[in-house]
Every structure is written in structure tokens, then in C-alpha cells.
Amino acid sequence: MPLPAVHDLSDAMLQARLQQILDQKTKPVGSLGRLESLAHAIGQVLGSTTPQLQQPQMVVFAADHGLTAKGVSAYPSDVTWQMVENFLAGGAAVSVLARQHGLGLTVVDCGVRHDFSPRPGLQIRKVAHGTADASEGPAMTAEQCEQALADGRAVVQGLPGNALLLGEMGIGNTSAASMLMARLTGLDIADCTGAGTGLDAEAVQRKIAVLRQVLARHAKAQAPLEVLAAVGGFEIAAMVGAVLQAASERRVVVVDGFITTAAVLVASRLAPAVLQRCVFSHRSGERGHALLLAQLKAEPLLDLGLRLGEGSGAALAWPLLVSACAVLNDMASFESAGVSQRGVDVAENA
């Protein structure tokens, strides 16, 4: 399956110009800290010294996981479809935050074990009614994985704007993310596995044991797409496709928590330059997330102890991206404001 080309964005002239503009703002050099590096990064993604974030799109990818039959989640699979209904009704955290910040919200049924009635804001791209139980065989066939990737790409192609915010919903998907992380980074599964939806310590140990057995069963799966098909989920595969497509179109990709970061991990192993387009919104409370961010050399914007998913952290971080662009575009320079720079007027008047 051909994947979209994701080119290296390195542009020394643009980088230097962005830095020069930021350094000339009416402030001590570097005094806006991470906001300056964020403005610099957005300018590079959009290829402009005056970047404009337009029609941001929050997309929540949803699917069920056959592995939940092995007791890896504290919640039943029915919660997946019930939460999709909650998203569409406007009652979920991500729904509230998307409204607050003016984000377009689309929910994508990639493989939920439920049939939804068509309605605005919902895209039905169901590959199957949930993945297979990965403890008994591959979670999905190569063809199903390819379809989910293509669906994710198509979703992005059909949306306006130049910023994609990633969200997800799927009972059992922290297990899939943990296994993807362990296999693709070489870290032990125990270091990659946490409480997910709220397992107690004993249940977490049982979860780790199940995931270790699943990884052993699929030991031959080593290439990124092989691993994705063996232990991943339809919503994660669709997110991989979405990230690749958004990156190829030079959209800013705002990454949420552990599961969306696992999707970015897979995408980055297919096309390393996708990381140049990514803004990592927060460090979640899920055990493996900090380690995964470190593997990607990613510095998240927030650390609020979130572990909800849905795209909630990405939505909360969004105003920082808007502020970064405002500083770059609207803040006066020393010259335009007639403000003396450190040492310049002193030397001239000496």
C-alpha cells in the first residue's frame, strides 16, 4: 500500500528568520520560553513567518478491541459505543472543550461493536465490529489494517483547515498502545503498561501477564505495520493514516495522550519527518506515556495528570498554539514600538 510522502521540513533560512522575528519582539530574548519555541515550530510546519491557524479539526477515532475478553479493562466494551453517543450528543469532556475553543468535532466509527444511525459529525468507516482477540491470533488482517490506514487518510483529506487534533475512544486500547510501544521501542511491557481505565494494582499485574503472552505469540511481527496489525486497533491504525496524511499536507498535528502518541510512534517509524509536524499537548497519568514521550524526544506542553483520552488534553492545549501565533504575528518589535533594546541606546548615548 503506498503511503503519502512526508518530506523533511528543515529550512535554515525560514528557521533563522523566525528566530530573528521572535528575538526582536518587545521582551528580553527567550523570555516567553516554550511559547516562543512553539511559535517557531508552528511557523516551520506552515512554512510562514506569519502562520495562521485555520479551521482546527478535532477528530475522535473509535473502535473496540477483542482482547477485552481477557479482562484487560475495568470497563465493559459497551462503554465504547455509549461514549460515542455521548460525544455526538455534546456531553463528553472533549465535546465541551471543542465547543469552548471553536474546534470542529468529528467522530469516526472505525470498528465499534455497535451500529450507529447516520448523523452530522459522525463518519462511519467501520472495518469490522471490533478487532479479533490478539491473544488468539492477529488483531486484524493485513487487509483490514490497510483499510483502516486508508480510512484515516480519507478522513483528513475530507476536512478543512490546517490543524488536526487527535482523539480516540476504545475500551481496551491502552493495552494495544502498550504492546505497540513495547515492541517498537524494545522496552519491557511492564514499563509500558498502566491502569488504563482504572485497574487496581493486582489487575494491572494480570494485564501485564496477558500482554506479555500476546507479544510472545506475535514475536515474528517486527516491522511497524506488522506489529500494528498483530496487536493494534482499528482506531489506532486509522490515526496512523490520519497522521501520515496530515503530515504530508503540512497540517499541524496536536497529539493527545498515550494512545494517540502510540499512533504517532507507528507513523514516525514509517515516516520519521512526521514528528516535525507534531505538537505534544500533555504528559498523561498513564504509566507508559512519559517513557514514550522520551523515546520520541517530545516535550509536552502541559502536565495536568490527565488520563481521560478523547482528545481532551489536545483541546486544553489548543489556546497555547493560538497564543503562540498571536505573539509571532501581533506583538510589536522594538523598532515598531520605539522601545530601546538592551545595551543599544545606552551605547549610542554614551
> Does the pLDDT of residue 2 top 80, yes or no?
yes
Mean pLDDT value of segment 182-202: 93
**Percent of the chain whose pLDDT exceeds 90:** 92
Judged against a pLDDT cut of 90, whether residue 193 lies above it is answered with: yes
Give me the catalytic one of 143, 310, 335, 348.
310
Domains in the chain: ranges and CATH: 57-325 (3.40.50.10210)
Model confidence band, residue 343 (pLDDT cutoffs 50, 70, 90): low
pLDDT for the residue 341: 85
Residue 79 has pLDDT above 80, yes or no: yes
Taking the CA atoms of 275, 277, 283 and 288 in sequence, report the sign of the dihedral they define: negative
Q: What is the pLDDT of residue 1?
A: 67
Q: What's the chain's average pLDDT?
A: 96
Q: Does residue 108 contact residue 42 with C-beta atoms inside 8 Å?
A: no
Find the mean pLDDT for residues 101-123: 97
Whether pLDDT at 196 is above 90: no
Query: What's this model's pTM, rounded to 2 decimal places?
Result: 0.95
| Residue 350 pLDDT greater than 50, yes or no | no
Q: What is the mean pLDDT of residues 210-235?
A: 98
Alpha helices for the chain (secondary structure H):
12-23, 34-46, 78-89, 93-101, 142-157, 173-185, 189-192, 201-217, 224-231, 234-248, 258-270, 289-295, 312-330, 334-337, 344-348
3-state SS, residue 119: coil
Q: Model confidence over 114-139: pLDDT tens digits?
A: 999 999 999 999 999 999 999 999 99
Answer for the pair 54, 161: CB distance below 8 angstroms, yes or no. yes
pLDDT at 197: 77
Residue 198: predicted pLDDT: 85
pLDDT at 35 over 70: yes
pLDDT of residue 109: 98
pLDDT digits (tens, 9 = 90+) for 143-170: 999 999 999 999 999 999 999 999 999 9
The mean pLDDT value for 31-41 works out to: 98
Q: In the annotation, is 310 catalytic? A: yes
pLDDT in tens, 243-261: 999 999 999 999 999 999 9
C-alpha closest to that of 328 among 92, 84, 17, 79: 17
Give the pLDDT confidence score for residue 347 in this predicted structure. Answer: 42
HSE-CB of 155 using CA atoms within 13 angstroms:
35
**Amino acid letter, residue 289:** H
Residue 346 pLDDT: 40
